[in-house]
A and B are shown apart, each in its own frame.
Chain A
Amino acid sequence: MSIPKTALPPLVHDENFTLLELLDRVLNTGVVLVGDVTISVAGVDLVYLSLRALLTSVETARKLENPDFTAPARILAEALTDS
């Protein structure tokens, strides 16, 4: 079912979306010094990962489900979701 246009008047600002946009930037963009790191998050044991695979949001990580996106990265992504 489509949303009637009159029910959601156009806005030029929305606090929730601003937070969403900010978090998307902080987690998904920004300069990356490519390398390998060791990290421990939310009680998960130290995991050694490629920084290129690690530094992304959970949503992007799920989109990256391909041979380059390894099982440890998925486990970490799930841990981050729960934290």
Chain B
Amino acid sequence: MNWHLYGILRSAQAPLEWQAVQGIQLQTIVAGSLGAVVSVPLEGQMVQQALLHNSIVEATLEQIPLLPARFATPISAEQIQRQLESQQTALLRRLTTLQFTREYAVRAQLEPLPVVESIPTTSGRAYLEGKAALLRISEARAEQCQQLKATLEAVLPFRESKVLEASQELYRLAFLVAQDKLLVFQNALQSVLASQHQGFVRITMHGAFAPYSFAETDSSQ
């Protein structure tokens, strides 16, 4: 039988009996000092399943430190136990880092690049100059994104940060924040974003989320 995995916790912190969350009965599969929070596989539309997965992760996180699992991980109890045992050190280290933390997201949307077809092809020189201009825009954008990251990192109280996406038109950052610093972080972020829009169409902040982006161990990345 396969199980739907919600996250990993310290087995000593797992309740003897789980309360059902939104009608889903949870269980713990234990392997040494770690446990996996699981239920029978979810049913229904995929997006609804993903949101339910997150609701259960959030409800569990309110009570117990948890490494949130990626959605759609039906896996047998034997596989769970084998992996918990083999990755124990890395998972315990991540659990320690992530306990009492939340995640915030920053999305910076850049103006769309001029379409490539607009590069003049009337002459070789015009074409090369057009390509060079595009390259300069691209480099300037990368520089703007780096400046935004440096500015945020200089003033925000966070434990870890990650660039989740750095494309031509979107720059996405994630910050791991201690729960007791959430309000300070949110206020600092709002004031920085209010003054950091040069070169960006808009910058938005989102969260707080369960710390999914920081839950992967080195061995599972």
Q: Is B149 engaged at the interface, CB distance under 8 Å to the other chain?
A: no
With both chains docked as a complex, state the minimum distance between the C-beta of B23 and any C-beta of chain A, in angstroms.
19
- A11 contacts B73, CB within 8 Å? no
Q: Say whether A34 contacts B220, CB under 8 Å.
A: yes
Asked if B75 and A33 make an inter-chain contact with CB atoms under 8 angstroms apart, the answer reads yes
In angstroms, how far is the closest chain A Cβ from the Cβ of B108?
10
Could you tell me how many residues of chain B have their Cβ less than 8 Å away from some Cβ of chain A? 59
Q: Give chain A residues whose Cβ lies under 8 Å from the Cβ of B69.
A: 30-33
Q: B161 near A: Cβ within 8 Å?
A: no
Contact A51 B203 (CB under 8 A): no
- In the bound assembly, the distance between CA atoms of A28 and B146 in angstroms comes to 24
A83 adjacent to B45 (CB under 8 Å): yes
| Contacts from B to A (Cβ < 8 Å) | 2, 5, 7-8, 36, 45-47, 50-51, 53-54, 67-75, 79-80, 82-84, 87, 91, 94, 103, 105, 107, 111-112, 114, 164, 172, 189-190, 193-194, 197, 200-207, 209-210, 212-213, 215-217, 219-220
Restricting to A46-75, which residues have a CB under 8 Å from any CB of B? 51, 54-55
**Inter-chain residue pair count (beta carbon < 8 A):** 144
Residues on A with beta carbons closer than 8 Å to the beta carbon of B220: 31-34
Question: Which DSSP category, helix, strand, loop or mixed, fits chain B's interface?
Answer: mixed
Known: A3-B112, A21-B105, A26-B54. A13 touches B46 (CB 8 A): no
The residues of A that contact B72 with a CB separation of less than 8 Å are 27, 39, 54-55
Of A14, A32, A80, the contact of B204 (CB 8 Å cutoff): A14
Lowest 7 CB-CB distances: which A-B pairs, in order? A30-B70, A33-B83, A25-B212, A29-B212, A31-B215, A30-B212, A18-B206
